[in-house]
Amino acid sequence: MAHPHASLPVAVFDSGVGGLTVLHECLVSLPHEDFTYFGDTARFPYGERSPVALRAFALELGELLLARGAKLLVVACNSATAAALPSLRVALEGRVRVIGVVAPESLLAAGVTRSGEVGLLATPATVASGAYERALATSAPEARLHAVACPELAPLIQAGGEVDDRLVDCVEGYCAPLRAAGVDTVILGCTHYPLVRPLIQRAMGRGVAIVSSGQAIADEVARELRLAGIERKVDRRGSYRFLCSGDPQAFRRVGVRFLQMPLGDVRRVAVAAAPPARAAA
């Protein structure tokens, strides 16, 4: 007999549309599962928020998604994972398992690097948290992390404009310190960054490995569902739906590029008001 929670969707949330790069990998790897995605576009960007604010946002969104039904929660936002994952797991303990994006990426990077010189491109909040240093130290104690805060990159990508000289120059500028450090592996520490992966690869050079969280998260989702006995039967086609806190039309317009699949209906859900992000970059 199937577990009573098996028919519930897997819930995924992010500060905006970046987490759709993670959802894409989940939809491809787990086509039989249902998913609910929440993009907190009204409070984007998260990358300049304080840890206190990020924890409040994550707890609010976790409760919001649980109220709508969820058998697993994926924090598809590096800033929120770095600031709030432990708090979120404690708050939701016994109700739902929570997966974040930092540890799986660090484990991947540890397995890929040859020199032990690992680069990180991430938001200021993620870099300041030190979460990747801690995770990499667990996976590869001898490795050194070279972190670069990229306040302008996620907002440029979220805007959904053309890939122009401004974006190219932005990527080149953030990659320059990593080239100078001689890293052989770069972690994309924000779920928006896979959208400009070709630019990052070109800036870093062909011999540098680029690590992102999508496939690693999809693998972890599959493992968690299997261990808990709450996976769906593979002979069905799952559904997916979208919620956002900002303008649904804007979310749909940009989101199609990130998901690389039809979005369909996007519903707006109100969230608690928040002051503007510091230096809203």
Task: For residues 212 and 22, give the distance between their C-alpha atoms in angstroms, rounded to a whole number.
Answer: 9
Task: For residues 260 and 254, give the distance between their C-alpha atoms in angstroms, rounded to a whole number.
Answer: 10
Q: Which of 26, 175, 190, 244 is catalytic?
A: 190
44: closest CA among 202, 247, 223? 247
Residue written as token pair 């122009």? 164
Q: Which of 77, 150, 175, 244 is catalytic?
A: 77
Alpha-carbon distances of 279 from 48, 58, 80, 170, rounded to whole Å: 7, 21, 18, 17
Annotation marks residue 77 as catalytic: yes
Structure tokens at 130: 């030190």
DSSP state of 270: -
Annotation marks residue 170 as catalytic: no
Task: For residues 38 and 53, give the distance between their C-alpha atoms in angstroms, rounded to a whole number.
Answer: 18
Alpha-carbon distances of 244 from 85, 137, 157, 272, rounded to whole Å: 21, 35, 17, 13
Catalytic amino acids? 77, 190
